[in-house]
Structure 1
């Protein structure tokens, strides 16, 4: 079957995203300049790494149905559903947790459905096996010819798409830091940076599996290791979507200092980590550190308290 290529330029992404200085004495007293790479401003519905990872995957899908995976509050599912609505292709979201099918849709999944996404709920054991041929074959037998995009959008195409992020950061920025869920953004960012720069990933999940995931993605996307990167694994606050009062207090204070709406699941942990690391002298005096702001708070005008996200939710 012939499929028409998608014209992704119709989404009018704002690229390159702005790089803004953030005057902050917690960095300045250690001789460090903090910069904010405002990837959250790329597109209102596909901000940050969602645009950078999804765009090459949507181009490859060429208008076919896109089937992808996520938890109950997945940013990736919402972005995929929005892209489907805006560009006119069908989307299927495979959602972890068959018990969710028996409840009213939460606001995130309701937004996906409003954007035309077909939601398919699976039990957690099936979801864990989502990359297996048995589960994939079963899904494709139900939904037909689909372009399958992994959870979080992280695959070789996504990593290749994220190299442009590294290319947008001037060589005067020594360290570029990003919060990590599935590793695709870090894999591509590191590959796109110059030889004197390094990427720092801040995992928001417990588990210690991310280093291997990044190495695998780089091997698949670039044929082997690419660029300099490391992980700061002390800042997950107990696991995915765990946002204790200490983190909310930090994020509220950062918003007040810098007028930046701080997304709690990823960006708050990134900014907290950089503040702690600067205090520990982890960055050389006279150097600049850029924090990649990958997304905005969601819902935009709603409750962002810890009750919104269950600890088992996924990216």
Structure 2
């Protein structure tokens, strides 16, 4: 998905100015993002900053809508910012940033301009993948006592490891301009380990691509593996891998393993707020915008 598209509805500066009333706006990619950020995690900042799903402003959604909305709002003289998922850098074929494991270097790059925050983690859902909040939700839904944090993070590390070939294969699919693996692909019960997922990909999706894709897959797997921190605690390794594995797939896999049929995103967002676990990366950005930084 490119960041430059037709931008219907964004050529009315007077309407934009009237909408904001002097409060800085942060555009986000989707209604889900709006709920998590605007209605949950940062609702106490709403007198200083406003969150708006980009589709409400320009008629289409996603990273390109955020970039377009911010550009047009600023051209109209309004204070506007944006948040886009890390997967945007892959959409734009910025592979040096897709593979960048140094967060300081990644954040300094600002590929979409200084007013666009490109998340360090792959997508918004990766910030919902907090082990303690996930376990609290699981325990409540199943009417069971919560497990120890170390037990939960051992499980999440196994899930993240299984998602490494999934992320690598989706990068290969992007390279070859074919549809990637769905987020629900790895929640199948026979794909319980990384080795299972890797074997399934090699026997399936990879065989339907040109022969060069095998080398691409090996290379992309190595790139995703580079985000891991062998020797560190499971929690540290999970948080490191969340920069590159797909969060929606992780939540789907966790829910399937525990026979949870409801969408966990809203519950997780609220539990993270209640448990004072809102990620510092996001809180710092929102505070900077709210205080005019």
Asked if Structure 1 and Structure 2 have the same fold, meaning a TM-score greater than 0.5 normalized by the shorter chain, the answer is no
Taking structure 2 as the reference length, what is the TM-score of the superposition? 0.30
Taking structure 1 as the reference length, what is the TM-score of the superposition? 0.28
